[in-house]
Structures are given as C-alpha cells and as structure tokens.
Amino acid sequence: MKPVLSNFLFWDCSQEKLDYDKRVNFILERVFSMGTEDDVREVVRYYGIDTIKKEIVKIKVLDKKTINYLSFTFKIPKRRFSCFRKNVYQNLY
C-alpha cells in the first residue's frame, strides 16, 4: 500500500501519479526536508530502514539541519552524504 503523505509536500506534481518505486530519492528528499513526523513514519513503513539508509546518502541537495537529523537518526556519518561532500552552493555566488 502506497504511503499516505501530506499534500503540501508535492505541491508541484500530482501525488496520485507519483511512481513511489522510481522516484524514491525525490520522495525521501521532500519528506525529510519538509514533512511531518507522520510522513516520516509512512516512508519508513513503505520503504523500510535499509532502503532509506541506502537512498538518502544519494540525495543531491539537503540542508545542513536535515543532514544532521538523518545522520543522527540513521547512524550514518555525514561524510557519506553526497550533498555533504560537495557543497552545491559554493559556485553560486
């Protein structure tokens, strides 16, 4: 059964048309960056801890607060996050 997530997370697309198996990183990025505790529980239920741990380190853009939360919660060193290793904002200014 698909996760039941907050509508505001996907304001720019149709949640009904989302492919939850192909768009794992997109969904996890939205949930962990802007979601509620209920949203987090739903993705944990749907994907499982192992899949989440494997996928969150691949997300290209996460703010520092979210990286800290994910690192602490899932016991993953920050240096393993691809978005932590390369500051994507360093060349913007």
Domain boundaries, the chain: 19-85
pLDDT of 84: 74
pLDDT of 4: 93
Cβ atoms of residues 81 and 59 within 8 Å: yes
What's the rounded Cα separation, in Å, for the pair 23 and 37? 20
According to DSSP, residue 86 is labeled S
Q: Would you place residue 86 in the very low, low, confident or very high pLDDT band (cuts 50, 70, 90)? A: low
Cβ atoms of residues 28 and 55 within 8 Å: yes
Q: Would you place residue 15 in the very low, low, confident or very high pLDDT band (cuts 50, 70, 90)? A: confident
75: left (phi over 0), alpha (psi -120 to 50) or beta: left
Rounded to an integer, the average pLDDT of 67-77 is 96
Q: Is 67 helix (H, G, I), strand (E, B) or coil?
A: helix
Question: Does pLDDT of 3 surpass 60?
Answer: yes
What's the rounded Cα separation, in Å, for the pair 29 and 61? 8
Which pTM was predicted? 0.86
